[in-house]
Amino acid sequence: MPTLEEVIKKEGYSVIGHPVPKQDAWVKVTGEAKFADDLYFPGMLYGKLLRSPHPHAKILHIDTSRAEKLAGVRQVITAKDFPGVKYGNFAHTRDYLPLAADRVRYIGEEVAAVAAVDLDTAEEALDLIEVEYEVLPAVFDSEEAMQPDAPQLYDHVANNVAAESHFEFGDVEKGFAESDHVREDTFETQPMKHAMLEPHACVGLWEVTGDVTLWSCKSSPYVVWRHLAMGLDIDPGKIRVVQTYIGGSFSGGKQEAMPMDFCAVMLSKKAGRTVKIVHNMDEVLTIGHMRHPMKLWLKTGVKKDGTLIAQHCKIVANGGAHSSIGQLSIFLPGLGLNLPYRVPNVKFDAYRTYTNNGFAGALRSHTQPQICFARESQLEMIAEELELDPVDIRLKNVRQGGEVTPSGFRLETFGITEGIEKVVSASGWREKYKKLPRGRGIGMAASGMISGARLMSHSASSAEIRVREDGTVTLMTGSTDAGQGADTVLSMIAAEVLGVRTEDVLYAMVDSNVTPLDPGTFSSRVTLWTGNAVKRAAEDARKPLEEVASKKLQVDSKDLVFRDRRVFVRNQPGKGLDLAQVVRMVQNRLGHPVVGRGSYSSGDDPIAVRGGHGNVSPAYSASAVVVEVEVDLETGLVTLVGVWAASDCGFPLNPMLVAGQAMGAFTMSMGQALYENLIRIDGKVMNASFRDYKIPLILDLPKVENVKLFDVITQDSNGPFGAKEAGQGPGDGVIGAIANAVCNATGARIKSLPISPDRVLFALQKGSA
């Protein structure tokens, strides 16, 4: 495997592969970056939403008259102000309304909205709205919800099954029959929130002309654009979604239109002013969008030597009151079973239920951490029973580049073996495993991840580039930077092709009136999909420059090099022109604007969410992680003392940002493994505050010298400059690795998350939990 430096030298990269700071870091450290709540307009009103106090109830009557009479209140709206058209992601699972019409299905569901001259007045007005409810029986547990006599959330859905997914590749029954050893386990995962620090926020404007503008921190603005058009029942051409800086997204509410977005524009329509709505943190933590809590049953058959033969997984996921992206959520964990191990027979049966809870959707690495936790925990138990080393059983079964999985994934590259070997050697695994004192333990996990799913009807990305007369470049895509570094990596791709520096590229934020249409920022798709589009756009923009430069320098355009803001003859850097000079020749003299367009779709047909066979993504990343933990045997508290993580992101276009993503993904999964849990009693969230919903702090991470990250370089030809995803895969195995380390330290096998002190103590007493 080549090193980073070897690749940079061999390929002659001047920009790619170099660690440069994030483009927008400068405007963020000064506090000048405008997030959605930082926008103020003259005469702007402040909006607030009235929420249901009941988990399940009929709305009999809403009286807004007292609220309307309060001084300073400008408008009050209810479902009657909207056209009553449902919106959502998939046609057959659309179940959202901008405001609840005749029924509420969870505590926190939006019922009415107010716009007032200030926030205090808006909040006071909420108390004056009178809603008459008829409380209905509610159901909170997934399995109870599927019983025939359970309260039904939707009239058109039987047994509260919001979505299901079933497929089989190979023949699992035959596989189990051929296995020497079969093991079954059940695992449970908890509701986890995105807990991005920036609450959802938006400003809406509905002009008298009928033009509607939403300024918001949306990571997938075109999804919002479509949702708004659906729920408002107006032509999408009348809607403009303008992205602000995004203070963390991790999918969820910044991925879709939310009731607040509809209400901001509708209140604006009626009040004739801009209206800002910002969620309080207790609203953020109470309302929908969270990681699906799951019950996972996993049955695995192996040969005596540890060779995996068959795996059958059943999942029941608690989807809450709405579908969100749930049809996809219940499909993806099954696909995840095909990576990273070579299992010839795989079967998957999963149900996502409606319950009277806040609803679940996508969260960083959409459902993969749950399935990896189950699989990596069970694999370790199997290794123990077969008296195999956890490293050896993984190395025996992992896939290699060039393989095709039973589900049809084509892995051009898959650097998992190298990743495992790196973390095993760096962590001193062989010296530590089963050799550490009681209370101290080491654990590992491996995982694979897609680089953008080809599942939606719209999966292609496009980019537009303009080279200005001073040689600087403006780059427009429909992809957003939510902090992950898209602004920088996409700029670097353009810079490398056009021979300019990263800082010469101005990366535009999304404005649906101007920037190219794009599916959005999710599914680890941006670097590969949008990156390929940017590369093509830059190559397109370079063409007229090549034409003129080759005439001027009297060489074939193939012998031109674009580098360091110059165009010169290969191997003769002295013989050349300034890039800006060439741009002026093309643009100002010949009259051709130097623009480029590029787009990328993987070329394969999209995969149906039902059935699921096919190459779901152009490329697949691989990750391996080892963690060392200290378990306090008296209190049950788990402390991380060391992390060794390796990821095959193809080629790190910017190693500094790749490291940031790897640690970010690790830290988020660590939060789910050890601390985070949205506690709900009869649908009421009991810990809707950062006081009680605990996310990792700086003190929870090991010291800097005890965290080691490695890049495995495989240069996948499907990605721009060989790159695959880097932002989600590194977190997938972390929960399993921590669970394995805790077991290694104490003998206690924890199968329910989080691995909190009470669970650890209980498990220590019982021997397992």
Residues in contact with another protein by CB under 8 A are 19, 21-22, 24-26, 28-35, 37-38, 40, 194-199, 245-250, 278, 280-281, 482-485, 656-657, 659-660, 663-668, 689-691, 695-699, 701, 703-704, 707
> How far, in Å, CA of 324 to CA of 220, rounded?
14
Q: How far apart are CA 442 and CA 439, in angstroms?
A: 10
DSSP output for 237-289: GGEEEEE-B-S--SSGGGTS--HHHHHHHHHHHHHTS-EEEE--HHHHHHSS-
Helix residue ranges, H only, 499-530: none
Beta-carbon contacts of residue 507 (< 8 Å; ≥ 6 apart): 23, 475, 481, 486, 487, 488, 490, 491
Closer to another protein by Cβ: residue 635 or 706: 706
Q: Of 585 and 659, which CB lies nearer to another protein in the complex structure?
A: 659
Q: Is the peptide bond before 754 cis (omega within 30 degrees of 0)?
A: yes
Q: In what order do the strands lie in the sheet with 345-353?
A: 161-169, 345-353, 308-318, 294-302, 181-188
- Dihedrals φ, ψ of 617, to 5°? -145, 155
- What lies within 8 Å, CB to CB, of 390 at 6+ separation is 379, 380, 383, 433, 443, 444, 740
Q: Supply the minimum distance, in Å, between the C-beta of residue 427 and another protein.
A: 17
**Nearest approach, Cβ of residue 671 and another protein (Å):** 9
Residue 598 CB neighbours (<10 A): 24
Give the separation between CA 44 and CA 116, rounded to whole angstroms.
9
- The answer to whether the beta carbons of residues 665 and 731 sit under 8 Å apart is yes
CB of 449 to another protein, least distance (A): 17
618 or 727: CB nearest another protein: 727
d(C-alpha 122, C-alpha 115), whole Å: 6
- Smallest distance from another protein to CB 741, Å: 19
**In terms of CB distance, is 473 or 482 closer to another protein?**
482
Closest alpha carbon to 313 in 360, 265, 368: 368
Question: In the complex, what is the shortest distance from the CB of residue 317 to another protein, in angstroms, rounded to a whole number?
Answer: 23
Cβ closer to another protein: 701 or 764?
Answer: 701
Compute the least distance from the CB of residue 199 to another protein, in Å: 7
Least Cβ distance, residue 53 to another protein (angstroms): 22
194 vs 542 by CB, closer to another protein: 194
CB 250, min distance to another protein, A = 7
Residue keyed to tokens 């009348």: 238
Closest CB to another protein among residues 120, 385: 120
Q: Where are the alpha helices (DSSP H) in 554-676?
A: 579-584, 655-674
Q: Which is nearer to another protein, 664 or 736 (CB)?
A: 664
CA angle 105, 190, 706 (to 5 degrees): 145
Nearest approach in angstroms of CB 394 to another protein is: 25
Q: Identify which of residues 76 and 668 has a Cβ nearer to another protein in the complex.
A: 668
> What number of CA atoms fall less than 13 Å from residue 502's CA on the CB side?
23
Residue 654 CB, nearest approach to another protein (Å): 9
Question: Among residues 311 and 480, whose Cβ is nearest to another protein?
Answer: 480
Cα 388 from Cα 634, distance rounded (Å): 31
Least Å from the CB of residue 370 to another protein: 19
Helices 390-397 and 416-427 pack at an angle, to 10 degrees, of 170
- Nearest Cα to Cα of residue 278 among 35, 619, 590: 35
Minimal distance, residue 467 CB to another protein, in Å: 26
Paired with 213 in beta bridges are 205, 240
Whole-angstrom Cα distance, residue 22 to residue 8? 20
Distance in angstroms (rounded) separating the CA atoms of residues 351 and 500: 51
| Token reading at 453 | 């799913």
> Is 397 or 728 the residue whose CB approaches another protein more closely?
728
Query: Measured from the CB atom, is 311 or 479 closer to another protein?
Result: 479
- Residue (362 or 577) nearer to another protein, CB: 362
For residue 695, the minimal CB distance to another protein (Å) is 6
Nearer to another protein, 156 or 691 (CB): 691
CB of 173 to another protein, least distance (A): 43
CA 395 to chain centre: 28
Listed in order, strand segments (DSSP E) in 399-480 are 440-450, 461-467, 473-477
